[in-house]
């Protein structure tokens, strides 16, 4: 179905949307095929897209493309839409703010929504110490600022990150990101004083004790503890495979940081804001970090990120040392306050736990039926769940080919999925926490059909 760019409001999310873009002097219509050709001419190939379709309209956990095809969304904008597409409260709050002002730059003329959101984040963050929050625009920007703050607070340059961690695409964050392809190819050298410690892996036979020993060996060989400002870790690896940090490891990292005066940064860009059943994934371990980076689902689809931390640490920078032209945009702040309210009022933390239990149980049943000895692991915290595929249970060789075919078959049948993991052999689930049970069930049925088809195709 050809469509135009301006959407006609709809009462039912399950009807095909009418989209209209008005161009002067006459309307311009387009299809997926049209946009593919235009994209190739206008957008660098380095900006990759997982789906070969173009969005026209979305509602909660459903999306329609410009050709009118409906999809169930198990990707959620890569974890941005815990409160779903176009949550009514989030959209209303953003529109109300737009009627007042859209931008002044907090560094020029400040405004209440920034302060109100900072107060809310400070209250939500784990730990009894007084907190302060910085608001920026992207997750990578939040991570860069967290490192900058840690260096200012400690007077030290060094940063320790972990294998498989993903922290962004800027040069500093790429230095911390523990995965080469496709992010780090051909763009080095990366900043100095960034060191990598091992992450536990059951498949690779790396235990928590092995990982901690590797960290301590790093202190002996490359990274003198007195030069390390911070350690940064995702409480649940995102791009690295949706693998939770074992709680005993997180506790030991906290002890090691305290012993050496190192600050502990929890990168909660993907795992935060209810995805795991708590506001922040690190809460499951009982460990209190010094700094937390946040983004994605904080603002329900609007671009916003931040750093939450101990007040004494956050105040290490001189006035003017933190900020950014768009940082803490008032419309995004209003949206974030509404998204947090929605998580609270709609009981989405508890729903995340229930959804996670359901997903894990159903994936176990599906794997046994459709892919015996191929679905090697089902893991995660709350509704931050992944399934990992191998060629067989004896060699546990990662099976990226099967993973890719499952995703392709799901796309054909109307389900959006995304891979993850160091070998690209896991599928992660980021369905909105607001998704109705019947939509989740429909998506899981499509997943099973797609897995069976992929297994039959590849053998």
Return the closest-CA partner of residue 380 out of 422, 333, 338, 430. Answer: 430
Fold topology of 32-86+348-458: 3.90.1150
Q: What is the DSSP letter of 376?
A: E
Mean pLDDT for the chain overall: 93
Return the closest-CA partner of residue 18 out of 76, 77, 64, 53. Answer: 64
Q: What is the DSSP letter of 75?
A: S
pLDDT of residue 16: 43
Q: How many residues does the chain have?
A: 459
Assess whether pLDDT exceeds 60 at residue 15: no
Quick check: 78 and 270 in contact, CB under 8 A?
Answer: yes
pLDDT of residue 230: 98
Mean pLDDT of 315-343: 97
Over residues 293-319, the pLDDT tens digits come to 999 999 999 999 999 999 999 999 999
In which residue are the tokens 């191998």 written?
390
Quick check: 269 and 166 in contact, CB under 8 A?
Answer: no
pLDDT of residue 319: 96
Query: Is residue 235 reached through a cis peptide bond, with omega within 30 degrees of 0 on the bond before it?
Result: no
Over residues 180-239, the pLDDT tens digits come to 988 998 898 999 999 999 999 998 899 999 999 999 999 999 999 999 999 999 999 999
Over residues 25-78, the pLDDT tens digits come to 445 588 999 999 999 999 999 999 999 899 999 999 999 999 999 999 999 999
**pLDDT > 90: percent of the chain:** 90
Q: What is the torsional sign of CA 275, 16, 11, 29?
A: positive
Quick check: 193 and 228 in contact, CB under 8 A?
Answer: no
Over residues 387-437, the pLDDT tens digits come to 999 999 999 999 999 999 999 999 999 999 999 999 999 999 999 999 999
Three-class SS state of 334: helix
CATH annotation of 92-345: 3.40.640.10
Q: What is the torsional sign of CA 202, 205, 210, 211?
A: negative
Assess whether pLDDT exceeds 60 at residue 22: no
Greatest C-alpha distance within the chain: 69
Three-class SS state of 121: helix
Alpha carbon distance 291, 310 (integer Å): 7
pLDDT of residue 27: 52
Alpha carbon distance 165, 305 (integer Å): 18
Query: Is residue 35 reached through a cis peptide bond, with omega within 30 degrees of 0 on the bond before it?
Result: no
Over residues 138-182, the pLDDT tens digits come to 999 999 999 999 999 999 999 999 999 999 999 999 999 998 988
Determine phi and psi for 90, rounding to 5 degrees: -65, -45
Residue ranges covered by each domain of the chain: 32-86+348-458, 92-345
Assess whether pLDDT exceeds 70 at residue 18: no
Alpha carbon distance 209, 160 (integer Å): 18
């Amino acid at each position: 179905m050809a469509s135009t760019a301006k959407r006609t409001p709809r009462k039912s999310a399950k009807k095909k949307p009418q989209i209209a873009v008005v161009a002067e002097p006459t309307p311009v219509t387009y299809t997926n095929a049209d946009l593919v050709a235009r994209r190739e001419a206008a957008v660098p190939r380095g900006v990759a897209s997982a789906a070969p379709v173009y969005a026209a309209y979305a509602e909660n956990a459903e999306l329609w493309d410009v050709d009118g095809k409906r999809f169930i969304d198990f990707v959620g904008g890569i974890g941005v839409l815990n409160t779903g597409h176009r949550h009514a409260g989030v959209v209303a709050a953003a529109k109300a703010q737009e009627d007042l002002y859209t931008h002044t730059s907090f560094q020029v003329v400040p405004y209440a929504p920034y302060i109100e959101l900072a107060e809310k984040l400070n209250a939500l963050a784990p730990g009894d110490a007084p907190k302060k929050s910085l608001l920026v625009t992207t997750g990578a920007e939040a991570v860069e600022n967290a490192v900058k703050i840690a260096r200012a607070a400690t007077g030290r340059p060094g940063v320790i990150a972990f294998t498989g961690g993903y922290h962004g695409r800027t040069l500093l964050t790429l230095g911390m990101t523990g995965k080469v392809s496709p992010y780090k190819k051909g763009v080095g050298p990366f900043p100095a004083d960034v060191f990598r410690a091992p992450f536990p892996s059951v498949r690779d036979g790396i235990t928590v004790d092995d990982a901690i020993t590797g960290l301590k060996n790093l202190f002996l060989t490359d990274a003198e503890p007195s030069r390390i400002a911070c350690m940064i870790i995702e409480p649940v690896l995102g791009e690295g495979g949706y693998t939770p940090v074992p709680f005993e490891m997180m506790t030991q990292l906290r002890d090691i940081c305290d012993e050496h005066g190192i600050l502990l940064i929890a990168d909660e860009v993907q795992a935060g804001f209810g995805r795991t059943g708590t506001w922040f994934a690190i809460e499951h371990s009982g460990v209190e970090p010094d700094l937390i980076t946040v983004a994605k689902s904080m603002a329900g689809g609007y671009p916003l990120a931040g750093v939450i931390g101990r007040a004494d640490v956050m105040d290490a920078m001189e006035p003017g040392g933190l900020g950014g032209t768009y940082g803490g945009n008032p419309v995004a702040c209003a949206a974030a306050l509404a998204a947090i309210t929605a998580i609270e009022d709609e009981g989405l933390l508890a729903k995340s736990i229930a959804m996670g239990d359901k997903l894990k149980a159903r994936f176990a049943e599906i794997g046994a039926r459709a892919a015996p000895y191929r679905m090697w692991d089902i893991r995660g915290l709350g509704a931050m769940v992944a399934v990992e595929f191998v060629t067989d249970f004896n060699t546990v060789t990662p099976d990226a080919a099967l993973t890719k075919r499952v995703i392709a078959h799901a796309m054909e049948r109307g389900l959006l999925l995304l891979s993850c993991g160091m070998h690209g052999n896991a599928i992660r689930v980021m369905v909105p926490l607001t998704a109705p049970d019947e939509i989740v069930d429909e998506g899981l049925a499509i997943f099973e059909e797609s897995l069976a088809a992929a297994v039959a195709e590849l053998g």
